[in-house]
């Protein structure tokens, strides 16, 4: 994974263009206007960063991830960490400087989108610990380990990339990455994991039960002509009942991901882009305080192929509706 510092001139421009903008969580036109302005400002003021993002999107950076640094978050302006993901918990009486910065980088990598089933279709998701979710295997959990996963593994429209901006960090909450090219498997396990012998449950944040048997069937690894992609959520995945060979391969896959682990402790202002098809990620447990200062990330998901889900964007141009199976 590489680390890249953002140009101060670009950060100044993004801060300036965010002044006075409101409504990006309620109004798609306001969101698109901020996105267009932010990506244009980044292109004009920081071509080196744009070049790095282009390399990232072309799978030409080590480990499929880039950590961007140099951004300073005005903690006083941000206010209290949200107590929930719903719109009423978001502080919208502030200039969206963090959102503008996240959109500038993520929008350069590809097309930002959202799923209607998750966070009510929010195109920027504010992720913080929520009371009652402490041991749930979702982003709003805290005391439980969020195990290795790729986002929306059960859905064929799963994102290509994920962008995370850390508004507030926690020294005990590591974001762990396991680049799939670092995950060492035997040829036999590789073969088994490429076969549709696994069940992928729908996580609770997406409206599912999290149980593998309530999800969809498919492989863990995929890709042709030497490519190796991954789609799995270890908290919601299992081998098909009775397939002990596949179950053993999945356990060894988990152990191999552990061995490939890269730990990143995100600090305020850090922005992480990673390839959701080439990198598993996880989060260690931490103790929430619920005092307004807890860990707070802003997250977007990104596709490099917006046409693939065009038929499911029936109400809002960037929001993918649930599929006919009821996901």
pLDDT digits (tens, 9 = 90+) for 207-236: 899 999 999 999 999 999 889 999 999 999
3-state secondary structure at position 153: coil
Averaged pLDDT for residues 120-137: 93
User: What value does the mean pLDDT take over residues 130-141?
Assistant: 92
Of residues 275, 282, 278, 276, the one with CA closest to residue 254: 282
User: Given its phi and psi angles, is residue 60 left (phi above 0), alpha (psi -120 to 50 degrees) or beta?
Assistant: alpha
pLDDT at 326 over 70: no
Mean pLDDT across 65-87:
93
pLDDT of 177 higher than 90: yes
Please report, rounded to a whole number, the percentage of residues in the chain having pLDDT higher than 90. 91
Q: 327 pLDDT exceeds 50?
A: no
State both tokens at 301. 């998901």
What whole-number distance in Å separates Cα of residue 28 and Cα of residue 63? 33
Quote the pLDDT of residue 175. Answer: 97
3-state secondary structure of 63: helix
Lowest mean pLDDT among 246-260, 286-300, 313-327: 313-327
For residues 43-71, average pLDDT: 98
pLDDT tens figures, 288-310 = 999 999 999 999 999 999 998 99
Candidates 21, 49, 51; CA nearest to 35 is 21
Model confidence band, residue 323 (pLDDT cutoffs 50, 70, 90): low
pLDDT of residue 40: 98
Give SS3 for 246: helix
Q: Report CA torsion sign: 250, 254, 259, 262.
A: positive
* CA dist., res. 169 & res. 41, Å (int): 27
The domains located in the chain, with CATH, are: 2-320 (3.60.130.10)
Helix (H) or strand (E) run with residue 54 in it: helix 47-57
| Residue 58 pLDDT grade (very low, low, confident, very high; cuts 50, 70, 90) | very high
What is the band of 193 on the pLDDT scale with cuts at 50, 70, 90?
very high
């Amino acid at each position: 994974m590489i680390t890249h510092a953002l140009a101060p001139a670009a950060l100044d421009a993004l801060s300036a263009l965010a002044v006075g903008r409101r409504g990006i969580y309620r109004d798609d036109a306001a969101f698109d206007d901020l996105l267009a302005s932010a990506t244009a400002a980044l292109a004009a003021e920081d071509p080196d960063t744009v070049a790095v993002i282009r390399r990232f999107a072309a799978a030409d950076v080590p480990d499929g991830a880039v950590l961007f640094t140099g951004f300073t978050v005005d903690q006083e302006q941000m206010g209290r960490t949200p107590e929930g993901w719903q719109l009423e918990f978001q502080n919208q009486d502030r200039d969206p400087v963090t959102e503008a910065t996240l959109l500038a980088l993520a929008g350069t990598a590809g097309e930002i989108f959202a799923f209607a089933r998750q966070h009510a279709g929010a195109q920027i998701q504010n992720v913080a610990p929520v009371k009652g979710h402490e041991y749930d295997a979702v982003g709003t959990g805290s005391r439980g380990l969020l195990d290795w996963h790729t986002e929306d593994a059960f859905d064929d429209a799963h994102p290509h990339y994920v962008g995370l901006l850390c508004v507030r960090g926690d020294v005990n909450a590591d974001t762990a990455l396991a680049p799939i090219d670092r995950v060492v498997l035997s040829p036999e396990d590789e073969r088994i994991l490429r076969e549709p012998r696994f069940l992928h449950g729908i996580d609770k944040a997406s409206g599912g039960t999290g149980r593998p048997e309530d999800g969809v069937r498919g492989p863990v690894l995929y890709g042709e002509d030497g490519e190796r992609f991954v789609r799995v959520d270890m908290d919601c995945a299992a081998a098909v009942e009775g397939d002990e060979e596949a179950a053993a391969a999945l356990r060894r896959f988990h152990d191999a991901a552990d061995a490939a682990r890269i730990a990143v402790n995100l600090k305020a202002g850090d922005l992480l882009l990673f390839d959701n098809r080439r990198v598993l990620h996880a989060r260690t447990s931490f103790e929430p305080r619920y005092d307004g200062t807890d860990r707070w990330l802003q997250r977007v998901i990104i596709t490099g192929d917006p046409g693939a889900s065009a038929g499911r964007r029936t109400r809002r141009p960037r929001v993918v509706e649930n599929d006919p199976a009821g996901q």
